[in-house]
Structure 1
Amino acid sequence: MSRIGEQKSRISDIEAARYITGALRDISAVELKKLRKRFEQNDIFYSELRELFQLVWRIASADNNDVVVTKSTKSLYVAYTTNRHFYGSLNHDVMKKFIAGTNVKDSCLIIGDVGKQIWMSNGQKRREVSFLSFAGDEPNANEKSALMKQVEEHKHVYVFYPGFTSVFHQDVEMVDITYRPTKKASTKKEYEDLPQYLFEPDLSEMVSFFNNQVRYALFERLLLETQISRVAARLVKMDTADQNAHDIIKLETRTLRRIRTSFSSKRMLETVVGYIQWHNRQTQLIGQ
């Protein structure tokens, strides 16, 4: 009976685990639906805002405006991972592309405990490497502001992050969160065909506003896409775990039936043997 009890307990534990993974899957599905709705609502707005930001920057550069001159000409490469192993291979995919996309001469920043662990285990070398971890997997308002302030002195800041392609597929993307044009304009001739804009109060203040407020809004857009990718990866992982638990329960239930059958057969055999022994004793007594 102890084997039957142990097997029942094992099945009960697996069913509890399946219940948890199923609940997490359902929660992820609801969360994903809400996040996608938020992301798709303002897609055109953010695309136009990004283009306008780059246009303002190009015009300011063409006018040799001092506000577009950075104190540093260095580029910073950032890997954006999480603190927990909860998103399938997403963090490993980010770090794989990050390592392949940088070299020993680059300055690097790795966000997230998982990214740091992967980096240390690979033994990579770069000119400058620093690490940063948020309190959770998603930064709060203060952490966002601190990060933007930390990287604002760099000419370009390339972030490797999990871009959202579909629920079942996420691709690692790289984007420059300074949102400056990749090609700096040297003459105004390139803008002859562009619409004419009137900048108020003036171009310098407009660029300053874009650098602080608009760039922050665009960065939040990147964080939202990253969150969608992570929730989608968690959804797929939990769904797979739920299916695996279902298959294991079926296997363990068959094992339980075999144990019960074996136990019943053993009891029946013991009963038959006991009856034969009793019958033989009775026969001997009658013969005497």
Structure 2
Amino acid sequence: MSNLREIQSRINSVRDTMKITNAMYMIASSKLRKAKKSLKNTEPYFYTLQDAIAKVIKQIPEDISLIYFNGKPKAADEKKKGYIVITGDKGLAGAYNHNVMKIAEGELKKEGDPVFFLIGQVGRNYFETKGIPYDTAFQYTVQNPTIRRARVISGRILQMYREQKLDEVYIIYTRMIHSMECRAEMKKLLPLEKADFQEKEESGGLNRQTNYLPTPYDVFKNIIPNYITGFLYGTLVQAYSSEQNSRMLAMESATRNARDMLKSLSVTYNRVRQAAITQEITEVISGAKLLKRRKS
């Protein structure tokens, strides 16, 4: 890279790229703040639903079968498992999409015939490229997670679960632990576990004073779909926050590397320029000496 024009072109290219990565960092930072606010506003509703379910379950007699809790006993290889895979709509987010697909690939290798529900264009492109069949791909959801979109997805899942087309449902998504770490993980969505709700029950006589009409079981059947929708919406917002956080960190790293590269290229440019100037001066002096010899 001894040509000054080549080095200057490289410097301009890196500088333009740095402007793009810096802009993407600012956009991801803004979207992350918005996602965190949405998650914070949703949490009180979600925890209230958990508490309400715990109270309703306590009022339902033990001999009544709860479809959303009691799965039919089957061998592990006979269970029909469904997986909701949440990826992004685009890349440039570090290992965000790769980590999610790695878990999905691990489930594909297990025995059985899993059913996949895809949320995100990256996951959809991956499954289509590999020729892996899937049930439904929900589009326009990842970049704008809303309760309405979560209700559409949960409606499809609950319908298949009630029709016994699915025995278990899992969500593969990315949870943001803190601003510097996001972790891809898999959580069980259905069937629910009573222990998860009993832990959140409040002590006291409040439950005995609550009347559920027409019956606690009817209230239970209507409140569970809302809980599933809320749970799914929470994972969508968590995944969206993780994607923006991962992209923000990736763009920050890219911008930092671009600055380092610019410094290195500037040093190289100045050295080559100085060498070119020195060579020109040397040639002028040599020419002057030659002319002087000829005259003498």
- Once the two structures are superposed, the pairs formed by residues 77-226 of structure 1 within 5 Å of their partners are 77-101=83-107, 103-111=110-118, 112-116=120-124, 118=126, 129-130=134-135, 132-135=137-140, 137-138=142-143, 143-152=149-158, 153-154=160-161, 155-178=167-190, 180-181=192-193, 195-196=207-208, 197-226=210-239
Distance 1:203 1:156, change over 3 A: farther
Corresponding residue for 2:76?
Answer: none
Question: Deviation per CA, 1:130-156, whole angstroms, max 9, x where unpaired?
Answer: 452514633666654442222112243
**Paired residue type of 2:22:** G
Corresponding residue for 1:4?
Answer: 4
State the number of aligned residues.
274
The 2-side partners of 1:129 and 1:55 are apart by: 37
Corresponding residue for 1:40?
Answer: 40
**Paired residue type of 1:239:** E
Structure 1 length normalisation: TM-score? Answer: 0.78
Q: CA deviation at 1:95?
A: 2.0
**Paired residue type of 2:137:** L
Correspondence 1:30 to 2:30: yes
Equivalent residue for 2:254, pick from 221, 238, 241: 241
Question: Deviation per CA, 1:88-127, whole angstroms, max 9, x where unpaired?
Answer: 111111122233356221423152343355557779x8xx
Distance 1:151 1:28, change over 3 A: same
**Paired residue type of 1:244:** N
CA contact (8 A) 2:90 2:121 kept: yes
Structure 2 length normalisation: TM-score? Answer: 0.76
Secondary structure at the aligned position of 2:93 is classed as coil
Secondary structure at the aligned position of 1:162 is classed as strand
Question: Deviation per CA, 1:230-264, whole angstroms, max 9, x where unpaired?
Answer: 11111110110111111111111111111101210
What root-mean-square deviation, in Å, do the aligned CA atoms of Structure 1 and Structure 2 show? 3.6
Gaps of at least 5 residues in structure 2 are 73-78, 162-166, 197-204
Q: CA deviation at 1:63?
A: 5.1
Secondary structure at the aligned position of 2:142 is classed as coil
| Structure showing greater Rg | 1
Detail structure 1 runs of 4+ shifted over 6 Å in the superposition.
69-73, 120-123
The 2-side partners of 1:246 and 1:65 are apart by: 63
The 1-side partners of 2:206 and 2:111 are apart by: 40
The 1-side partners of 2:141 and 2:7 are apart by: 39
Deviating more after overlay: 135-144 vs 146-155: 135-144
**Paired residue type of 2:106:** A
Gaps of at least 5 residues in structure 1 are 185-192, 284-288
Distance 1:95 1:53, change over 3 A: farther
Corresponding residue for 2:50?
Answer: 50
CA contact (8 A) 1:79 1:110 kept: yes
Distance 1:232 1:194, change over 3 A: same
Q: Percent identity?
A: 19
Correspondence 1:20 to 2:27: no
**Paired residue type of 2:291:** W
